[in-house]
């Protein structure tokens, strides 16, 4: 592999694959938490950062740093600080920590204040206890307003909440009410996900065995999504991506790097990164991850992406954004004129009301958002 890795400030993702218990819908790579296992993992992570520093030619400048998981709020402030201080954070760097609501305590937040973390992404998922029970989450709706108030008191003013829709028994009306309940908490950002179950998840097994209620059919889920978008807008949020809503100026800088095909460094087991022209994924297996780092092997099985693949990824990610993609920029990057190359598909999707081409900007229409993968697939 050549040394042609990107220079300049990077978006950095750090994966922490431990959880206190397993949520019923989870098919992510997540392991039971123990302090010893976490400490061993962090040693390995620090070694991995050291290897990347050598490969990238010195300290790594970060414009965003995102701790995701798993449950990264299992790290104490000292452990978070140890990772943060490995990077030269830009003065305005966005540093996000995904937080389990149950871990929000005065002591936790006070200690966190001493770290560069300046954005919290809280896994609320629902403000309806029957949904929380179905999902296998351990917090309850009544706990959440107090947790949010505590975050505000301790100086956190960039807060994102996760919301899951498409649960059994849900309807467009119940999803609208859920969005209204979330809006009453006045977060700066909402990430809204359709519940989908991979075969490996306990809930999928429960549904197959007839022990758990099944999910709504696709057409109902599509109506729920439409209601969700409409209500979020009524509540003063802007939709800037298929699943993401924010108050003005509060879009996630880190996630924008993914959608705008900017380079990102991914660290930790199962994390996937993009250091053009390389895409890589660390093993979703702790032993294999440790073995790679021991052998000083970073960017495992990296795939070198040529123009074809990079242009396809750019379309796939960029069209998720409401602002769409600028075809002049696309042509400058890839030397291709999409409007000519894909004239037939653009016309057909335009006639179906799924794509909008205005001046040089191509974007999905509102009705295409729920079926974005198939619509974008037509263009690839």
Chain positions contacting ligand SF4, by CB under 6 A: 19, 22-23, 26, 28, 30, 69-71
Q: In terms of Cα–Cα distance, which of 350, 313, 349 is closest to 333?
A: 313
Q: In terms of Cα–Cα distance, which of 266, 265, 218, 258 is closest to 242?
A: 258
Q: Which two tokens stand for residue 348?
A: 């057909």
Give how far Cα 131 sits from Cα of 127, 261, 303, 322, Å.
Answer: 8, 35, 40, 29
What is the DSSP code (8-state) at residue 237? P
- Nearer Cβ to ligand SF4, position 70 or 172? 70
- Nearer Cβ to ligand SF4, position 20 or 233? 20
Cβ 65 to ligand SF4 shortest distance, Å: 19
Q: Which two tokens stand for residue 76?
A: 């104490």
How far is it, in rounded angstroms, from Cα 193 to Cα 55? 36
Provide the CA 54 distance to its chain's centre, in angstroms.
Answer: 28
Cβ 33 to ligand SF4 shortest distance, Å: 9
DSSP letters along 22-75, please? --TT--SS-EE--HHHHHHHHHHHHHHHHHHHHHHTSSEEEEEEEEEES-GGGS
Run of H or E including 242: none
Cβ 135 to ligand SF4 shortest distance, Å: 8
What is the DSSP code (8-state) at residue 94? E
Check if the beta carbon of residue 311 is closer than 8 Å to that of residue 319: no
- Nearer Cβ to ligand SF4, position 93 or 269? 269
- Nearer Cβ to ligand SF4, position 23 or 321? 23
How far is it, in rounded angstroms, from Cα 118 to Cα 97? 8
Cβ 194 to ligand SF4 shortest distance, Å: 14
- Nearer Cβ to ligand SF4, position 30 or 255? 30
CB-closest chain residue to ligand SF4: 26
Cβ 48 to ligand SF4 shortest distance, Å: 20
- Nearer Cβ to ligand SF4, position 207 or 322? 207
How far is it, in rounded angstroms, from Cα 143 to Cα 101? 8
Cβ 180 to ligand SF4 shortest distance, Å: 24
- Nearer Cβ to ligand SF4, position 70 or 273? 70
Angle at 39 between CA 104 and CA 296, to 5 degrees: 130
Q: In terms of Cα–Cα distance, which of 172, 167, 161 is closest to 231?
A: 172
- Nearer Cβ to ligand SF4, position 102 or 339? 102
How far is it, in rounded angstroms, from Cα 271 to Cα 279? 11
Cβ 103 to ligand SF4 shortest distance, Å: 11
Cβ 199 to ligand SF4 shortest distance, Å: 15
What contacts 32, CB < 8 A, 6 or more positions away? 18, 19, 21, 22
């Amino acid at each position: 592999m050549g040394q042609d890795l990107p220079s300049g400030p990077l978006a950095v993702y750090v994966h922490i694959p431990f959880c206190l218990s397993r949520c019923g819908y989870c098919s992510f790579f997540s392991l039971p938490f123990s302090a010893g296992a976490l400490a061993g993992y962090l040693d390995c992570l620090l070694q991995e950062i050291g290897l990347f520093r050598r490969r990238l030619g010195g300290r790594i400048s970060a414009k965003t740093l995102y701790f995701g998981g798993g449950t990264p709020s299992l790290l104490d402030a000292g452990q978070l600080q140890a990772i943060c201080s490995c990077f030269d954070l830009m003065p305005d760097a966005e540093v996000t920590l995904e937080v389990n609501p149950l871990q929000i305590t005065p002591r936790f937040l006070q200690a966190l204040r001493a770290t560069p973390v300046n954005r919290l992404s809280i896994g609320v998922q629902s403000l309806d206890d029957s949904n929380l029970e179905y999902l296998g989450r351990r917090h309850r709706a009544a706990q959440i307003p107090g947790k949010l108030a505590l975050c505000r008191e301790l100086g956190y003013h960039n807060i994102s909440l996760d919301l899951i829709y498409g649960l059994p028994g849900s309807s467009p009306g119940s999803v609208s009410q859920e969005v209204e309940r979330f809006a009453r908490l006045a977060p700066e950002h909402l990430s809204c996900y359709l519940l989908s179950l991979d075969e490996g998840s306990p809930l999928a097994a429960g549904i197959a065995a007839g022990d758990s209620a099944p999910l709504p059919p696709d057409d109902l889920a599509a109506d729920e999504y439409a209601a969700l978008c409409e209500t979020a807008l009524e509540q003063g949020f802007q939709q800037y991506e298929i699943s993401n809503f924010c108050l003005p100026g509060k879009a996630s800088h880190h996630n924008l790097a993914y959608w705008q095909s900017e380079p990102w460094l991914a660290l930790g087991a199962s994390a996937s990164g993009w250091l053009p022209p390389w895409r890589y994924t660390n093993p979703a297996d702790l032993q294999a991850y440790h073995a790679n780092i021991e052998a000083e092997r970073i960017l495992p099985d990296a795939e070198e992406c040529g123009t074809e693949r990079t242009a396809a990824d750019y379309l796939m990610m960029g069209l998720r954004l409401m602002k769409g993609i600028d075809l002049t920029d696309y042509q400058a990057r890839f030397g291709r004129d999409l409007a000519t190359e894909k004239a037939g598909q653009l016309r057909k999707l335009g006639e179906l009301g799924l794509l909008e081409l205005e001046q040089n900007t191509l974007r999905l229409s509102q009705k295409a958002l729920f079926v974005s993968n198939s619509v974008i697939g037509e263009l690839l």
